Amino acid sequence: MGRRKKIVQECEKLMDNPEHIRNIAIAAHVDHGKTTLSDNLLAGAGMISDETAGQQLAMDTKEDEQERGITIDAANVSMTHEWNDKNHLINLIDTPGHVDFGGDVTRAMRAVDGALVVVDAVEGAMPQTETVLRQALREGVKPALFINKVDRLINELQEGPQEMQERLFDVISDVNELIRGMTEEKDYDWTVSVEDGTVAFGSALYKWGVSMPSMQETGISFGDIIDMESNDQRQELHEATPLSDVVLDMVAEHFPNPLEAQPRRIPAVWRGDADSDLAKQMREVDDDGDVVFMVTDISMDPHAGEIATGRLFSGTIKKGQELYVSGTAKKNRVQSVGIFMGGEREDLDRGVPAGNIAAVTGLRDAIAGSTVSSVEMTPFESIEHISEPVITKS
């Protein structure tokens, strides 16, 4: 059996158990390393070869390339990761890296419960870091921080352990100041910290990463990192403390699963009757409930036509269902339902249950932002775009 097929089977097993699902986005200021990090995660999950990760050339594994001749473009992807002796399904949604696509970033945030914010260690928090944080927090999406390009502090800026730690501390303080300012009225504290394990740092280019829990486990110190980076032992560093493991462990441990996230998020994005059965089904991620699907993106497939991707808050979407689409009078018939494995969709005849990101064809009237449901219902709040001046890539 091909590796890809095994991953699909593994994902299928996990998608029925919301406790083991994490729906996440990676968001960053342009050039801070979102693409390179995504490649690392895909390689860590065995979806692309280790050698190609970090070169922004997300190719499929050799085995599958021969089998199917496909290329993964790291758009939306489901992968599995073992943490705490349990396998987890990680649904990763890509967000555009450019400020002028801000609207899409907000839409992606509606589908996820955790946002991995990537910040370049040299540049620190930039305007778009602030924007993506604002978008995440407004949607009730929990942030965690990855400080990237730490290799540059060592090799270009020649910083020692003390300077490096001070700089990383400054980046964390700046990010926390932004988070604090955006969550003043909330009753939870979503600031990030090294001690809690909600901050990791490393080099997406050289594929190593560390966090407090990982350093405790591997015994690798800042001094070791500096020695190995400067002595051209990056491959050893990667093998000793692979970035994908460190980041995916952080995701599994600190991002909420749908059962934890939906009771908090539903009241924030839906103004329907909180005492209704539908509200209860959404809060409880009830896969036997009515279908409630929020479309966050429409893409074109040359064979299947328009694909509506989004978050399924309740029920199970299956082929052949007739569903209401908000803002239109007629029902649409579901042609196929699947999950994304990289740029490729994998149809699942059994359907996709609540708590997951689903890719659906046949919803002809749906647009990004549509509420799709098996019963007539109050649609979700519209997704507000946060606009800001366009900053061009230098």
Stretch of 10-18, 179-187, 198-206, 364-372 contacting ligand GDP, by CB under 6 A: 198-206
The answer to the question of residue 355 lying near ligand GDP (CB under 6 A) is no
Q: How many residues bind ligand GDP (CB under 6 A)?
A: 17
Closest to ligand GDP by CB, 27 vs 363, is 27
Phi, psi of 258 (to 5 degrees): -60, -35
CB 102 within 8 A of CB 30: no
Of the chain, the end-to-end C-alpha distance in Å amounts to: 45
Distances in Å between the alpha carbon of 157 and those of 120, 123, 166, 235?
A: 14, 12, 13, 21
Let me know if 233 is exposed, middle or buried by CB neighbors in 10 A (0-12, 13-18, 19+).
middle
Q: Which of 56, 66, 165, 231 binds ligand GDP (CB under 6 A)?
A: 56
Which has the closest alpha carbon to 15: 293, 373, 267, 358? Answer: 358
Indicate the DSSP class of residue 61.
Answer: P
Closest to ligand GDP by CB, 33 vs 353, is 33
Give the other-Cβ count within 10 Å of 290's Cβ: 15
Q: Which of 4, 32, 110, 142 binds ligand GDP (CB under 6 A)?
A: 32
CB 129 within 8 A of CB 175: yes
The answer to the question of residue 238 lying near ligand GDP (CB under 6 A) is no
Restricted to residues 85-104, the positions that interact with ligand GDP (CB under 6 A) are 97
Contacting residues for 378 by C-beta, under 8 A, at least 6 apart: 270, 271, 272, 273
Binding mask 145-164 for ligand GDP (x = CB under 6 A): ---xx-xx------------
CB 297 within 8 A of CB 358: no
The answer to the question of residue 3 lying near ligand GDP (CB under 6 A) is no
* Residue bearing tokens 């270009």: 156
Q: How far is the CB of 394 from ligand GDP (least distance, A)?
A: 12
The answer to the question of residue 35 lying near ligand GDP (CB under 6 A) is yes
Closest to ligand GDP by CB, 118 vs 325, is 118
The answer to the question of residue 207 lying near ligand GDP (CB under 6 A) is no
Stretch of 31-39, 273-281, 287-295, 328-336 contacting ligand GDP, by CB under 6 A: 31-39
Restricted to residues 259-318, the positions that interact with ligand GDP (CB under 6 A) are none
Binding mask 309-348 for ligand GDP (x = CB under 6 A): ----------------------------------------
Indicate the DSSP class of residue 20.
Answer: G
Distances in Å between the alpha carbon of 314 and those of 14, 232, 288, 356, 359?
A: 17, 51, 8, 9, 15
The answer to the question of residue 165 lying near ligand GDP (CB under 6 A) is no
**Helices 243-254/34-44 angle, 10° precision:** 90
Indicate the DSSP class of residue 4.
Answer: H
The answer to the question of residue 36 lying near ligand GDP (CB under 6 A) is yes
Q: How far is the CB of 141 from ligand GDP (least distance, A)?
A: 18
Q: How far is the CB of 34 from ligand GDP (least distance, A)?
A: 3
**Three-state secondary structure call for residue 294:** strand
The answer to the question of residue 122 lying near ligand GDP (CB under 6 A) is no
Site residues (vs ligand GDP, CB under 6 A): 28, 30-36, 56, 97, 148-149, 151-152, 203-205
